[in-house]
Amino acid sequence: MMKGRKRKSGSLTAQMLDPATLEQIALWLEGAGVASIEIETEDGRLVRIVTGEDAALRDAGVDPVAAAPVEPHSVRPAKSQIAGHFLPVHPARDAAEAAIGASVFPEQIVGFVGIGPLIMPIRAEEAGTLRACTVGPGDLVGYGDTVFLIEPAQ
């Protein structure tokens, strides 16, 4: 299944963030064989729409569709420390360590990188709110790649 990344220069209206609209877009994408797309708006919003089995993530607490509006300069990245495939949920657990919108503390595990049987954690560098996940489940990530965006606590 293809993975698409779309940069849109026009504005993304609130209507488009309506769950029903997103559901319809997801169905269209799935029909077109697209696994996910990202839409970055002029005002700094990052929206990921995930289709098919990848959408099961939403049930695990990581809901890329529901990415909250994020001001680019107000967030800090949580980065992968190793090259591997992004795992939002540890294979031995049922739920993600932290859901989008949840508060996180320094060094808290927020996701994982898998290399075969080896599972390495991705940790929050500081306290704040988990605002967005910038990659899709199973995506190849490298050392230093941003995987989550965290809005620092005031």
Chain residues in the site for another protein (CB under 8 A): 82-85, 114-116, 118, 140-145
> Among residues 32, 62, 42, which one has the least CA distance to residue 136?
62
How far apart CA 132 and CA 122 sit, in angstroms, is: 14
- Nearest approach, Cβ of 26 to another protein (angstroms)? 27
- Cα separation, 133 vs 33, whole angstroms: 22
Q: What is the DSSP string of 2-66?
A: EE--EE--S---GGGGSHHHHHHHHHHHHHTTEEEEEEE-TTS-EEEEE-GGGGGGGGGT--GGG
Q: How far is the CB of 83 from another protein (least distance, A)?
A: 4
Q: For residue 79, which phi and psi values (nearest 5 degrees)? A: -110, 155
* Minimum CB distance to another protein smaller for 58 or for 85: 85
Closer to another protein at the Cβ: 77 or 114?
A: 114
Q: How far is the CB of 80 from another protein (least distance, A)?
A: 9
Supply the minimum distance, in Å, between the C-beta of residue 137 and another protein. Answer: 15
82 vs 99, beta carbon nearer another protein: 82
Q: Which is nearer to another protein, 80 or 129 (CB)?
A: 80
